Amino acid sequence: MTRSLLLSLAFSLPLMAQAAAPSAAPKKGLTVDDMLAMQRISEPTASPDGKLIAFTVRDTDVEANRGRTDIWMVRSEGGAPWKMTSHVENDGSPAFSPDGRALYFLSSRSGSSQVWGISVFGGEAFAVTKLPVDVNGFQVFPDGKRLLLTLDVYVDAAKLEDTVKRDEEQNKSKVKARAYDELLFRHWDTWEDGKRAHWFVWDPAAPTTAVDLMQGMNVDSPEPPFAGIEQASINPDGTLVAFAAKDAGREAAWSTDSDVFVVDARGGKKAENLTADAHGVGKGGWDANPSFSPDGKTLAFLSMQRPKFESDRTRIALIDVTKKGAARVLTEAWDRSPSEIVWSADGKTIFTSADHLGHHALFAVDAVTGKERLVVEKGTNQSVVVVGNRIVFSKDTLTSPAELFSAKVDGSEVRALTSINAARVANIAWGESEQFSFPGAKGETVYGFAMKPANYKTGKTPVAFLIHGGPQGSFGDHFHYRWNPQAYAGHGYAVVFIDFHGSTGYGQKFTDAISGDWGGAPYEDLMKGLDFALAKYPWMDGNKVAALGASYGGYMINWINGHTDRFKALVCHDGNIDERMAYFDTEELWFPEFEHGGLPWENAPSYAKHNPIDFIKNWKTPTLVVHSALDYRVVESQGMGAFTALRRKGTPARLLWFPDENHWVLKPQNSQRWHKEVLDWIDRYTGHTPPGLG
């Protein structure tokens, strides 16, 4: 195009704009900045009369590089929500007093994490606890006076001051060396300090101290997969506390065995194990998330049967606390894994949520027969709260972050209670998506999702092929803040993501299929699923596909690099390159021991069966390697090794390393950098020009 023609067009554009009918500016697709601007709702809880719902809202302060949380309120019948707290520090974990007149919450506004309170009618917040150690979680006793607290303390500390004194001595010492005699010596992103999470009872009569219900117990909160305040329950008359705990002794690193205990709420007595091998559901399995029935006679809990397997089918089990006999599995006939326990007021129903065919659905389970009933299916639904003959829950989808909804207990008359992100959602052009299925490995049906680029009109577009981690996980109808398909659709990509063999929500047999077969059926599913999508959707350009994955997805990227050159670019985030060495690097040894069928020096062929390091000779696809220093699950040497191999072979590669992140990238500014690097990388090698830059 000549310079004179360009000038002519430039001068004519204003006249053309004046002559044309006025129109609104086109919406843009989702960006990382849009995600960071979303307000994140969590922790809904109902007042005793069911008229009010308190919840937590997180706002992201990009400049401060952190999130801030406040307590909000909304009427259960609907109406505009309002802020209860507004502070520069974090306020969260709301809980009503039994009379409904006060709202308690955790806050760090005093310099340490303590329980605070505020009248539901408004006013200034007031400090409730003033303990010398941080409060990590709490529940309110039925008498409205006492609190159940979880605090990190040294097992042999007689009182809280002893824990404080020991911490102060360590902080003052110029010697920062650590010494360990047992595993785990570090976990997730933190080095072990010898403290354990214990449950305490706090009474306002002695506001600066608390009674340790677990005195001398060398146990900690159970993991996996759920941990936190849901690991304890107070019976209706306030005399007993049930809690879940895992032995922190010699086998902690290679055992998933946790148990449910019950203890006198007054303290001074030894906790009783209700799910020891003689009474539990499965010997050496995982038992957690206890919840007393409304009459206090029954304790429900979640249970896994197989030792060392963190992705076993989760069952709801019941135990009679008056007889303390063997537990009864309630949901043996249901081939799903419930993730929460919420009793109806009459004790006849347990509400729960579970992965279900690419969604996270709500279910009602009969507390006698165990028969389940689907209540809310589509989207990601969780955090159930019972309010009379209705339930309140959190719901998010591929086109909306979480909002609170209300429905009748049968799932009818669903209505939104909050819409705090409505304006932000309305300003975004969302990529249209649909779920599909295809014959995958072993001739079995496998599900996936396909998403169009935002503002798609015509022609073929490059494809971002996303691979989920876990590996026992799912990429489905969910608004994700780290691996959001809409961020790629908003950048002009078609998106495909497959729930391969090993994914959750399709029955336990399907989930089990990946163990010992990491590079087999899952790889076959991914390749067949991508082929199916490319054939089904003519708007996808099969010659311009980039594959991206994290954790197991990162492992799969390394496996893909050794087995196909069909992709223009790869992104490997926190992925193993060597399964043999990864065993010695990681902290949770139960995971590789189950997945690979034993110890690497006893079952070496299993660790070598699908090992990416043995196929480096075939690596040729340009790869962005992302890793973080605080990732103790998949340690940074795995990513550095992959980058070293790529560059030594002369394969185009780039290493993006975060010194202050763990297995995830959580800090806002780091997230911005991550998204820019990832999108720039796949743009470079697919030849894609982002919207607005063409």
Q: How many C-beta atoms surround the C-beta of residue 18 within 10 A? A: 8
Q: Does residue 558 lie in a domain region?
A: yes
Which two three-digit tokens encode residue 294? 């409304």
Q: Does residue 350 lie in a domain region?
A: no
pLDDT digits (tens, 9 = 90+) for 667-691: 999 999 999 999 999 999 999 999 9
Exposure string for 98-126, b = 16+ CB within 10 A, e = fewer: eebebbbbbbbbeeebbbbbbebeeeebe
- φ and ψ at residue 676, rounded to 5 degrees: -65, -45
How much is the pLDDT for 88? 84
How much is the pLDDT for 208? 87
Q: Does residue 559 lie in a domain region?
A: yes
User: d(Cα 525, Cα 98) in Å, to the nearest integer?
Assistant: 52
User: d(Cα 137, Cα 231) in Å, to the nearest integer?
Assistant: 10
Residue 646 belongs to what domain range? Answer: 429-686
Letter for the amino acid at 460?
K
Q: Does residue 76 lie in a domain region?
A: no
Structural domains of the chain, count: 1
Report the candidate in 254, 313, 315, 322 with the shortest Cα–Cα distance to residue 280.
Answer: 315
| 184: preceding bond cis by omega (within 30 degrees) | yes
pTM over 0.85: yes
**What pairs with residue 83 in β-bridges?**
72
How much is the pLDDT for 229? 60
How much is the pLDDT for 280? 65
Report the candidate in 631, 616, 478 with the shortest Cα–Cα distance to residue 550.
Answer: 631
Which two three-digit tokens encode residue 167? 């911490």
Listed as ranges, residues in the chain with pLDDT below 50 are 1-22, 227
Report the candidate in 273, 285, 368, 257 with the shortest Cα–Cα distance to residue 324.
Answer: 273
User: d(Cα 619, Cα 274) in Å, to the nearest integer?
Assistant: 53
Q: Does residue 600 lie in a domain region?
A: yes
Residues 6+ apart with CB under 8 A from 7: none
Letter for the amino acid at 602?
E
Q: Residues 301, 275: contact at Cβ < 8 Å?
A: yes
CATH code for the domain of 575: 3.40.50.1820
- What is the Rg, in whole angstroms, of the alpha carbon atoms belonging to the chain? 26
Q: Does residue 630 lie in a domain region?
A: yes
Q: Does residue 593 lie in a domain region?
A: yes
